[in-house]
A and B are shown apart, each in its own frame.
With several copies, the nearest count.
Chain A
Amino acid sequence: MKETTYLEAIREALWEEMKTDESVFILGEDIGTYGGAFKITEGFLKEFGPDRVIDTPISEAAIVGAAIGAAHMGFKPVAEMQFIDFIAPAFDMIVNFAAKVRYRTGVGAGLVIRGPCGGGARAGPFHSQNVESYFANVPGLKMVAPATARDAKGLLRAAIRDPDPVLYFEHKFLYRRIKEELPTDEEILVPIGEARTHRPGNDLTLITYGAPLYKAEEAAERVAEEDGAQIEVIDLRSLRPLDIETLVESVRRTHRALIVHEAPRFGGFAGEITAQLCEEAFEWLDAPIRRVTAIDTPVPYSPPLEDYHLPQMEDIVTAARWLLSY
Chain B
Amino acid sequence: MAAPNAQDLRQLYRHLYLTRALEERLERLVDQGHIAGDLCRCLGQEAIAVGSAWALEPGDWLAPSIRDLGALLVRGLEPREMLLQYMARTGSPCAGKDDANHFTDRERGLLGPIGPLGTQLCVLNGVALAFKARGERQVCMTYQGDGETRTGASHEGLAFAAALRLPMVVVIESNQWAFSTRSHREAAIDEWTDVARGYGVPAIQADGNDVIAVFEAAREAVARARSGLGLTLIVAETYRMLGHSQHDPQAYVPPEELEEWRARDPIDRFESYLLDRHETADGLARIRSVIDSRLDQAVDQALAEPLPEPETALGHVYAAPEVEPAPWTRGAPVGYPDVATSIVPTRMEPPRSL
Contact = CB atoms under 8 A, between A and B. Distances in A.
Interface in A170-206: 172-173, 175-178
B33 to A, nearest CB: 11
B133 A298 contact: no
Contact of B36 (A66, A291, A303, A309): A303
A324 interface: no
Interface in B21-65: 36-38
Nearest to B188: A57
Interface string B56-93: 00000000000000000000000000000000110001
A70 B333 CA distance: 37
Given A59-B152, A306-B335, A105 B93 contact: yes
A37 B37 CA distance: 15
A297 B314 contact: yes
B123 A69 contact: yes
B254 interface: no
Contacts of B95: 106
A160 to B, nearest CB: 14
Given A83-B353, A124-B102, A312-B331, A65 B157 contact: yes
A139 B323 CA distance: 10
A307 B153 contact: no
B319 A297 contact: no
Interface stretch (A9-17, A28-36, A151-159, A230-238): A28-36
Contacts of B100: 124
Given A65-B157, A121-B352, A127-B354, A312 B133 contact: no
A122 interface: yes
Given A65-B122, A122-B37, A305-B313, A58 B186 contact: yes
Chain B CB count within 10 A is highest, among A107, A142, A305, A311, for A305
Interface stretch (B220-228, B233-241, B272-280, B302-310): B302-310
B97 A304 contact: no
Interface in A49-81: 51-52, 54-75, 77
A51 B311 contact: no
A307 B335 CA distance: 5
Contacts of B343: 177-178, 214, 217-218
Contacts of A71: 126
Given A105-B112, A307-B335, A66 B323 contact: no
User: What's the interface size class on A, roughly?
Assistant: 35 or more
B96 A127 contact: no
Contacts of A65: 119, 121-123, 125-126, 153, 156-157, 160
Contacts of A224: none
Given A124-B37, A311-B329, A58 B117 contact: yes
A243 interface: no
B6 interface: no
B37 A176 contact: no
Contact of B160 (A38, A59, A88, A103): A59
Interface string B132-159: 1100000000000001101111001101
B326 A56 contact: no
A104 B309 CA distance: 16
B349 interface: yes
A102 B112 CA distance: 12
A89 interface: yes
B255 interface: no
Interface in B295-334: 307-319, 323, 325-334
Interface of B: 36-38, 88-89, 93-100, 102-106, 111-112, 114-117, 119, 121-130, 132-133, 147-148, 150-153, 156-157, 159-160, 163-164, 178-181, 186-187, 248, 252, 307-319, 323, 325-336, 339, 341-345, 348-354
11 contacts: A65-B121, A69-B122, A85-B115, A93-B123, A105-B93, A105-B94, A105-B112, A217-B343, A297-B317, A305-B96, A305-B313
Given A70-B130, A97-B119, A298-B97, 8 more contacts: A58-B148, A70-B126, A88-B116, A104-B97, A127-B354, A297-B314, A301-B94, A315-B331
